[in-house]
Amino acid sequence: MAATLRDVAERAGVSIRTVSNVVADYAHVSSTMKARVQRAIDELGYRPNPVARRLRTGRTGLLGLVVPEIDVPYFSQLAREVIRAASLAGFHVMVDQTGHDRGRQRDLLRGSDRTLLFDGVLFCPLATADDLVGVDPGHPLILLGEHKFDGRFDHVAIDNVQAAFDATAHLLSLGRRRLAAIGTQPDEDFETPLQRTEGFTRALAAAGLAAAPEQVRPAAHYSRQDGYHAAAALIAGVDPPDAIFCYSDLLAMGAIRAVFDSGLSVPEDIAVIGIDDIDEGRFARPSLSTVSLDTAFIADHAVAALAARIDTPDLPARDVVAPHTLVPRESTGVQPRA
């Protein structure tokens, strides 16, 4: 059905080599030849078959983006930037979801049928990363948002300790003193929440304060639901906080709703801040104070690092730190949006 190199060659009365040269924009082709071949190409509506090309070259031009769930706002915003950056670099992006299934995460990492298609993978770890230790994924791999692991993989992430420190310092600067946090993970081997707790604790210590263990609540899935329940528990607890630092914006959205449902008010009674800067927070009521991550930066550098490693597999592992910015809004008492 679809025209092939051979069809074009036949029609133009030349060899397939010549046609291939024209298609590939090879330097040494006479303009006469080029025009003739091009006409045959146009007449037949010829399109190179990418699969054949890829079998031959060994490249698929496909990147995998593995996230827990694509409909979590942070991941969909990140996906948007990754697809944009990859497209510019000549790659397609296939999205895979691990759900909250650690076994599935493991399968996606090893050489399953699926992953053999990829030239490389951008991986947003689920809850832990130990699954990766000693594993050979069979293709270049970039970790997004998680640093641990043996040093075999490139990674791109913000400085989580500093980001958490900044968020906490902001709450303290408002005069709040009874701080709580939401977002630790039962899984001790997941680095991000540990780092955020460390930043939280350090900022408190710098102000001569400390948080009781029960003021730092776990959240399994970083969902609005999790945030809601954790905040409700804090409010119902012995020492209700006057400010809550949530380890994600989604947790914060749930927490804010819980505050109001308990008859209290944000930010008057309890100030709330998150991390991620998802779009939802800008128009929420109150608008959500947060730490903004530069997802475009993360995507650009992740794709660049991956592309480099695809070309040169034994490059030393890169460790890119992405910038972050404190964005105070109404949920910590900063008044109207622009």
Partner DNA sequence: TTGTATGCGTTATCAT
Partner DNA sequence: ATGATAACGCATACAA
**Residues binding a second copy (CB under 8 A):** 2, 45, 47-52, 54-55, 60, 62, 69-71, 73, 75-77, 79-80, 83-84, 92-97, 111, 113-114, 116-117, 138, 224, 228, 253-254, 256-257, 260-261, 279-280, 282-285, 336
Least distance to DNA, CB of residue 83, Å:
24
Q: Which of the choices DNA, a second copy, none does residue 188 contact, using the CB cut-off of 5 to 8 A by kind?
A: none
> Do residues 99 and 68 make contact, with C-beta atoms less than 8 angstroms apart?
yes
> Do residues 157 and 124 make contact, with C-beta atoms less than 8 angstroms apart?
no
Least distance to a second copy, CB of residue 256, Å:
7
Closer by beta carbon to DNA, 28 or else 337? 28
Least distance to a second copy, CB of residue 84, Å:
7
**Residue 161: which of 178, 171, 147 has the closest Cα?**
147
Q: Which of the choices DNA, a second copy, none does residue 73 contact, using the CB cut-off of 5 to 8 A by kind?
A: a second copy
Give the pairing type, strands 243-246 and 179-184.
Answer: parallel
Q: Angle, to 10 degrees, between the axis of helix 73-88 and the axis of helix 295-311? A: 50
Closer by beta carbon to DNA, 53 or else 106? 53
Report d(CA 43, CA 25) in Å as an integer. 19
Token pair for 170? 């902001």
**Residue 119: which of 142, 100, 135 has the closest Cα?**
142
Q: What is the DSSP string of 248-310?
A: SHHHHHHHHHHHHHTT--TTTT-EEE-SB--THHHHSSSPPBEEEE-HHHHHHHHHHHHHHHH
Report d(CA 76, CA 184) in Å as an integer. 22
Closer by beta carbon to DNA, 26 or else 212? 26
Q: Which of the choices a second copy, DNA, none does residue 5 contact, using the CB cut-off of 5 to 8 A by kind?
A: DNA
Q: Which of the choices a second copy, DNA, none does residue 264 contact, using the CB cut-off of 5 to 8 A by kind?
A: none
Query: Rounded to an integer, what is the distance from CA 229 to the centroid of its chain?
Result: 25
Q: Which of the choices DNA, a second copy, none does residue 106 contact, using the CB cut-off of 5 to 8 A by kind?
A: none
Least distance to a second copy, CB of residue 145, Å:
17
Closer by beta carbon to DNA, 22 or else 72? 22
Q: Which of the choices a second copy, DNA, none does residue 39 contact, using the CB cut-off of 5 to 8 A by kind?
A: none
> Do residues 89 and 59 make contact, with C-beta atoms less than 8 angstroms apart?
no
Q: Which of the choices DNA, a second copy, none does residue 167 contact, using the CB cut-off of 5 to 8 A by kind?
A: none
Closer by beta carbon to DNA, 5 or else 142? 5
Closer by beta carbon to DNA, 29 or else 320? 29
Closer by beta carbon to a second copy, 95 or else 321? 95
Least distance to DNA, CB of residue 305, Å:
24
**Residue 165: which of 198, 192, 199, 196 has the closest Cα?**
199
**Backbone angles phi and psi of 201, in degrees to 5:** -65, -40
Closer by beta carbon to DNA, 17 or else 152? 17
Interface with DNA (CB under 7 A)? 2, 4-6, 13-18, 20-21, 23-24, 28-30, 32-33, 46-49, 52-53, 55-58
> Do residues 257 and 288 make contact, with C-beta atoms less than 8 angstroms apart?
no
Task: Report H helices in 207-248.
Answer: 224-236
> Do residues 119 and 91 make contact, with C-beta atoms less than 8 angstroms apart?
yes
Q: Which of the choices a second copy, DNA, none does residue 98 contact, using the CB cut-off of 5 to 8 A by kind?
A: none
Q: Which of the choices DNA, a second copy, none does residue 29 contact, using the CB cut-off of 5 to 8 A by kind?
A: DNA
Tally the residues of the chain. Answer: 338
Least distance to a second copy, CB of residue 169, Å:
27
